[in-house]
Amino acid sequence: MRTIHKLLLTGAMLLVGVFAAQAQPGGFPGGQMPDAEQIAKMRADQMKESVKLTDKQYQDVVKVFKAEMEEMQKMFEGGGAMGGDFEQMRKDMEKRQEEQNKKLKAILTEDQFKTWQKQQEEMRAQFGGGGFGGF
pLDDT tens digits in sequence order for the chain, 135 residues long? 455 445 444 554 554 454 444 445 455 555 677 888 999 999 999 999 999 999 999 999 999 999 988 888 877 776 555 556 778 777 888 888 899 999 999 999 999 999 999 998 888 888 765 444 443
CA–CA separation, 100 and 68 (whole Å): 8
Instruction: Give residue 59's pLDDT.
Output: 96
Do residues 108 and 116 lie in contact, with contact meaning Cβ atoms separated by under 8 Å?
yes
Task: Indicate the pTM of the whole model.
Answer: 0.67
CA dihedral 20, 90, 67, 17 (to 10 degrees): 10
CA distances from 64 to 5, 85, 88, 101 (A): 24, 26, 23, 10
CA–CA separation, 59 and 111 (whole Å): 19
